[in-house]
Structure 1
Amino acid sequence: MVMIAFLSYLVIPASAQVDSLGYITVSGVIKNSKTKKELSSVNIFLPGSHVGTVTNDDGYFNLKLKKMVPEIVISHLGYKSQRIKLERENLNDLKIMLVPHTNLINEIVVLGLNPAELIEEALDKVSDNYSKKSTILTGFYRETAQKGKKFINVSEAVINIFKTPYKESVESDRVQILKGRRLLSQKASDTLGVKLMGGPTLCIFADVAKNRDSFLSKGQLQYYNFRMEEGTILDGHQQYVISFYPKTELPNDPLFIGKAYIDKDNLAFSRIEFSLDMSDKYKATRAILYRKPLGLRFNPQEMSYVVNYKIEDGISYLNYIRNSISFKCDWKKRLFSKGFTVVSEMVVTDQDDKNVVSIPRRDSFDRDDAFYDKVANFNNDNFWEDYNIIEPTESLEHAVNKLKKQQK
């Protein structure tokens, strides 16, 4: 869950080829080869393993490795994947240019395909295409809140995620905070007692390929229209792209608008982008808002998600989730409302399916808890250690330093 009174913190460790713990750091920036624009949410990983991270909004990444490896893989939606050879004397400040794919779907025949039937078939194949074992994912989770353009809260943690096989429901899946930290703005005016859905349990309920209660379930498909779009490439695999939007309205709940990317070869969901239909603000508020103080008026503007999966040895695993919520709040009798944006991101940095033991319920993070409240219980001065993280953007790094000075 998320609460709006928030933020925690982060710091970029100085780039070094080998740190004090013996880990090798590979860093750099990734751009579009044609436009030279920085690319965010690009996957960087060690081939043959689950170790990886993603770029921040500035296109920058840091990847920590236990030992020197010959190469890393760079993958991004709509671009040709690259294998980057590593040299020990040149591991930092890499400049990597990704080439956009052109004429992507020469081999993908979409005429005559029924998009709704493709979605149904992909749902039928979930238990085959995704992990058949219980798995522990290690991830880096960050939650930020902004009031206007000003960061007022940064909270982050290293988490473990227990996933049962995908043929089972999410009821037994759990999240545990291992280490975390936060920074908060000291201004009372930056604090709101508003609780929103979110937090580290995002890794469970936003895993729409597994969550049978999500909008992407056979019981929900009847409420949507589907349309085939131009295909694309993800991680070297050709993708069907299917857009969806509400066909009708439900009495109490809003529906979603978005796109599903389905692997052409095995019909696995590779990526799903979706946002809440905001046409009925009352329904949208009910879907987003958990609790607020008396007299506070809440006006939702947008809630969007990106969920990414990565194929390893023919099996798809949860890889990355991003959730963004924008809203306005004001108090009765006040003239001006304030705009807020909450962003939650989780990247899987490692995973293990050997000798997996479930996370005890007493140690798991509850969906009804507020992350910015709970994360303070896991504060650790040696937070970074060997964990791979999503590097902070320049604006966030600046905000962190400012918040730290406020708290001295």
Structure 2
Amino acid sequence: MKTKFNCVFLDYKNHLLCVLLIVFGGTTIFASTLFQEQDIVQTFSEFKGTVIDGKSKAPLSFATLTVDGTNISTVTNSDGEFLLKVPNTMVDSSIRISFLGYQVKTVPLSNLNGENIQILLEESATQLSEIKINVPKDAITLVRAALNKKSEHFINEETVMTAFYRETIKKRRRNASLSEAIVEIYREPYSSSKSDKIKLVKARKSTDYSRLDTLALKLEGGPFSALYADVIKYPQYIFSENDFSNYEFSFDKSTEINNRSVYVVKFKPHENIVIPMHYGKLYIDAETFSLVSAIYNLDVENREMAAKMFVKKKPNRVTVYPTEAAYRVDYRTQNGKWHYGYSNLQLTFKVNWKGRLFNNVYTLNSEMAITDWTKALDDSFTRKETLRPTVILSDEASGFSDPEFWGEYNIIEPEKSIESAIEKINKQMERRKENE
């Protein structure tokens, strides 16, 4: 099948997400997504459950679960669900569950054997005035301290991190595409200005282009988009020296994470700024001034300028602009040092076709979680193994096959809606093959 598209190359330098919209001349394409179950000799045990608020019983998204004394970890999905795979030699261990603003909880893995396991976390709040340390004179001083202390409090040696990465695309509320990958990240020390390298270990995808209304949406950058959300390692994407003075910083009510007091700093661009800039909250450890988490958005009110930041290719007869751009990055500690642990990026935008009465709404989500890591034993990946920062993961992946490989790796538990979408696509594939 021939792919037809008209290109409009727009400036998206220094931004995390780049979207490519490509027209497929009306032809429906199905990815090969048939998943065959196989008998697998497991050397690991699976533990499933849900992390919820102890009072409201609401699910807690992005809670971190770590096996005590190891680097093995995962995060809960948007429904608070988790799936943790632990080597059989460690089933007598315990796990630590932490979530921003809640008390840390330690649970023996033996307590997670059974159905409908729920882990309840209790909320914990600390008043800013109760923190018994030298309080910075103002919020901007605290933020600068957090950005400048990376050499002191973050991992300052080369490491190789194993990570799970996922991209999803929805047309309105319907899932249309899912791509997942296991990657290894060669992380440079936080004090180094060198960029990290990423090696693709395995990738898989499930795509139903018939739901995309002849548009093939692709996310350029793949795992790099998620990695560059690391504000400490890559401040140029949000707090470059040129942009820093354009922000207004102020204190919000403090909180607690991992049983440690945390300052909360709100930031937003000054009122006279007209270009799209970020706004949100930074969570900074009160003792070390280390960044614990950042949750923020890009102001996309200026449609034309915001679109230029994201869209690299699109047909001439289509107008595209973002309506939301949301980001999150969380850090973890190991042996007294902080490191990147998880990030999530979500972009929602409208697509208007010339001559059509109604528009379409698409949502792209990109997330990555570190599931294990070790000190680097060699200098780097080879050039042939290293992905380019412009990689398109969906072009590298092929089907939902090889369950034996995926079995041993920790992944983020899929949302029920995604599982349902994959099942429906597989059924479509089966019917299509039967009719051929």
Give TM-score, length-normalised by structure 1: 0.91
Q: CA deviation at 1:108?
A: 2.3
2:388 to 366, 371, 378: 366
Change over 3 Å in CA distance of 1:89–1:78 after alignment to 2: closer
Q: CA deviation at 1:261?
A: 0.7
Give runs of aligned pairs for residues 259-278 of structure 1, distance below 5 A.
259-278=281-300
Equivalent position SS for 1:270: strand
Say yes or no: does 1:284 pair with 2:314.
Answer: no
Give runs of aligned pairs for residues 7-406 of structure 1, distance below 5 A.
20-66=41-87, 67=89, 68-87=91-110, 90=113, 93-105=116-128, 107-108=130-131, 113-171=137-195, 173-187=196-210, 189-247=212-270, 254-376=276-398, 380-406=402-428
8 Å CA contact 1:7, 1:182 repeated in 2: no
Q: CA deviation at 1:30?
A: 1.1
* CA deviation vs aligned residue, 1:184-209 (integer Å, no higher than 9, x gap): 11417534245545411124321111
8 Å CA contact 2:205, 2:400 repeated in 1: no
Greater Rg by CA: 2
Structure 2 alignment gaps of length 5 or more: 1-17, 23-28, 431-436
Q: 1:372 is matched by which residue type in structure 2?
A: S
Give the length in aligned residue pairs.
Answer: 403
8 Å CA contact 1:60, 1:391 repeated in 2: yes
8 Å CA contact 2:19, 2:313 repeated in 1: no
Q: CA deviation at 1:242?
A: 0.4
Q: CA deviation at 1:50?
A: 1.3
The separation in 1 between residues aligned to 2:111 and 2:136, in whole angstroms, is 52
Q: CA deviation at 1:345?
A: 1.0
Equivalent position SS for 1:127: helix
Change over 3 Å in CA distance of 1:91–1:72 after alignment to 2: farther
8 Å CA contact 1:2, 1:198 repeated in 2: no
Cα root mean square deviation, aligned? 2.8
The separation in 2 between residues aligned to 1:12 and 1:278, in whole angstroms, is 43
* CA deviation vs aligned residue, 1:337-366 (integer Å, no higher than 9, x gap): 000001111110000114143122332222
The separation in 2 between residues aligned to 1:103 and 1:250, in whole angstroms, is 34
- Greater shift after overlay, 93-102 or 78-87? 93-102
The separation in 1 between residues aligned to 2:308 and 2:407, in whole angstroms, is 40
Give TM-score, length-normalised by structure 2: 0.85
8 Å CA contact 2:176, 2:211 repeated in 1: no
* CA deviation vs aligned residue, 1:116-175 (integer Å, no higher than 9, x gap): 01111111111111111111110100100000111000000101111101111243x111
The residue that corresponds to 2:5 in the other structure is: none
Equivalent position SS for 2:152: helix
The separation in 2 between residues aligned to 1:321 and 1:7, in whole angstroms, is 29
The separation in 2 between residues aligned to 1:358 and 1:373, in whole angstroms, is 24
- Greater shift after overlay, 282-291 or 324-333? 282-291
Q: 1:46 is matched by which residue type in structure 2?
A: V
8 Å CA contact 1:123, 1:217 repeated in 2: no
* CA deviation vs aligned residue, 1:56-102 (integer Å, no higher than 9, x gap): 11111111111213311100011111000232782654211111114
Change over 3 Å in CA distance of 1:361–1:213 after alignment to 2: farther
Change over 3 Å in CA distance of 1:386–1:311 after alignment to 2: same
8 Å CA contact 2:269, 2:279 repeated in 1: yes
* CA deviation vs aligned residue, 1:315-351 (integer Å, no higher than 9, x gap): 1011000000000112111111000001111110000
Q: 2:332 is matched by which residue type in structure 1?
A: K
The separation in 2 between residues aligned to 1:12 and 1:32, in whole angstroms, is 37
Equivalent position SS for 1:382: helix
8 Å CA contact 2:284, 2:293 repeated in 1: yes
Q: CA deviation at 1:254?
A: 1.9
8 Å CA contact 2:73, 2:372 repeated in 1: yes
8 Å CA contact 1:224, 1:248 repeated in 2: no
Percent identity over the alignment is 30
